[in-house]
Structures are given as C-alpha cells and as structure tokens.
Amino acid sequence: MEYKELLIEKNTSIHEALNRLDTLRPKILFVVENDILMGSLTDGDIRRYLLNDGKISDSVYDACNKNPKKVAKSLIEARAMLSKDYIAIPVIDENKKVLDIYWGENSKAHTVLNVPIVINAGGKGTRLEPFTKVLPKPLIPVGDYPIIEHIIHAYEEYGCHEFKVIVNYKKELIKAYFNEVDKDYRIEFIDEDKPLGTGGGLSLLKNKINEPFFFVSCDSLLLEDYGKIYQKHIDNKNDITVILADRKVNIPYGVVNVDKNGEYLNISEKPQYTFLTNIAMYIVNPDIINDIEDDMRIDFPDIIEKEKEKGKKIGTYIVSEDKWLDMGVMPELEKMRSRLYGE
C-alpha cells in the first residue's frame, strides 16, 4: 500500500472517511491540505465527535486530532517511534508537508526471510566524482550512515544477517570502516582482483550460496516489502527476478511529432512519459552463479540476456518510483537524504 492512501483532504466528509477506514490497515488517516499535515483521524476520533452532536456529513477536519501524538523528521526516527506501539508515524519536512508514512506493514518484516544478501560494492562511482576520488561510493554518507549501511539495515528488518560484499575500488577503506562498526550481522568481503563489471563478481561466489539471494548495487535503497518480492520470485518459479521502478519523466518543452517525411503532425505540450527502469536490484537463484565464466568482465543485464537465451525464467517485480531512492548522481543523492531525514 502506498503511503498516500493514508492521506485524506481536510474537506472530505466523515462518511467517506469511515468507508476508507473500513478498508485500511492501519486504521488511521492523516488529514492534509495540499499534502500539509493538519491532523490524524481514527475510528475513535469519529466516534467521540459524533457523540458530541457532530454530523456524519461534516468534514474530517472537524473531527480529527489536530495535534497528532508523534511525527518524525526522518524514516529512521519514525522506526524508533513505531517501536513504542504508535499506529503509524508521518514523516514531515520543516513546512509540515508529508513525505512518507511509516507503519507496521512497511516497517517490520512479517516474513522473516533470513536469506543471503550480495552487495556489489566494487565500482568506482564515477558519476559521483569528485567525492569518489576520496571515498568509495559505498561509504558516501547519506545523513548519519553511509549508503551501504542504509542498505544493510533495510534487509536486517527482514531477518537477513548474512551479507557478502563484492569489493574492488578502495576496498581497504570499506573493510576498515566495517572493522569499526558495532554490528550484529555477518559480513564477508569478496575481493575482485580486477574489475569484473556489475555481474562478473558473482563468479567469485561459486559454492558459497545455495538458496535464492538478493543481489543489489550500492546505488539504490528500496522502501518496499522485501518479503512480498521474495515470495513472488518463489511462487512464480523465476530463475531471476528483476526489480523495476515505474518512473515518470516530465519534459519541460513542447515535443513536436512529425511523420516519416518530416512533415509536421502536432505538438505535445510538456508531456509526461512513463517507463520501467532497472534499479540494479535482483533476486537470483544460486545455479545462475555457476553459469558465469570465471575472471570475465560482464554486466548483470548481459547475464540476464544469456540466461534468457538458455530458457531460464526471468520475472519482474514493479514498484512505484516513490519507493525507490537512488544515489547514482548528486541530485538524486540529495533527494535520498531528504526522504530519509526530512531535511
């Protein structure tokens, strides 16, 4: 469920709110005006309002709690608050605009996966230069933690405690960092002697993994139910599941359409295009590793194509773009920090 399903405009009727609350889990709505938080609304709030001679046709703003008990400035802060048994915690910015909502359904793993996680952390991160001239991309901080720790913490919530990290560029810095981290998970570093692309490093894991595993890059963080993704991989009997984001791009110009002879047809004024993008997160069956040639540079999309040609089943799992946090380039890195910390 998307967090926006828990938002309700302040002028909506109480009657409509009751209908929505009947279908929601958690049983709470957050009252907004143009995404600005105005209050929270539960069945209890409505019941008390109606007992005090309120009308079911009145607006939700009349009945809501105008001082919600807890709000957060970051998803990390919201996780800590949720452990105190609040139903849901809205994440807001300095203007009280709702950026996200954290609740039990999306903060705690209902399925304990306890599967291996392979993180590809060997690249140079050239798109983030000059920062990656000093630090390897996995150690670039996003708020209080480097990106690789955000990724690890996300999987820890699903009972995953075994991490294999493929390293190459500035690998000693990465290893030194984790030597100093107080951690309750196991991390094994897989050394590339030379760059092997975004997929070739998996060849170094032969005989090390015997169950389907998540294979992720250090570019992306996903705010999604990993249990559902993994279960779909198993249920569909996929050999590889490619996780995709439904991305929208607004073109700030008029786009001119012409025919094959170059004759004018029409203009689409500032159109929006939607496409599915590969976010470099996969679930992979262990036998795929055995198909990867040793000591050969290859990117994972090329591995997918080779496996497809062999008749292997390639599935997909699509998430909305607001569930995908990307740090591949500087503007996206700033967006990630803002989403996580609300600053």
Q: Indicate the pTM of the whole model.
A: 0.67
Token output for 284 = 């992979």
List the one residue out of 295, 125, 302, 121 whose CA is nearest residue 194.
Answer: 295
Confidence band, pLDDT 50/70/90 cuts, at residue 194: very high
What is d(CA 146, CA 186) in angstroms, rounded to the nearest whole number? Answer: 18
Q: Which pLDDT score, from 0 to 100, does residue 108 have? A: 47
What is d(CA 154, CA 175) in angstroms, rounded to the nearest whole number? Answer: 20
Token output for 279 = 């976010």
306 three-class SS? helix
pLDDT tens for residues 223-244? 888 888 999 999 999 999 999 9
pLDDT tens for residues 259-309? 999 999 999 988 888 889 999 999 999 999 999 999 899 999 999 999 999
The residue type found at 152 is I
Token output for 52 = 């005090």
Residue position matching structure tokens 């991989």: 233
* Whole-number percent of the chain with pLDDT over 70: 88
Strands 117-121 and 213-217, by their bridges, are: parallel
Q: How far is CA 258 from CA 263, 270, 326, in A?
A: 5, 16, 35
What is d(CA 216, CA 280) in angstroms, rounded to the nearest whole number? Answer: 6
DSSP state of 232: H
Helices 330-341, 75-82: inter-axial angle, 10-degree rounding: 30
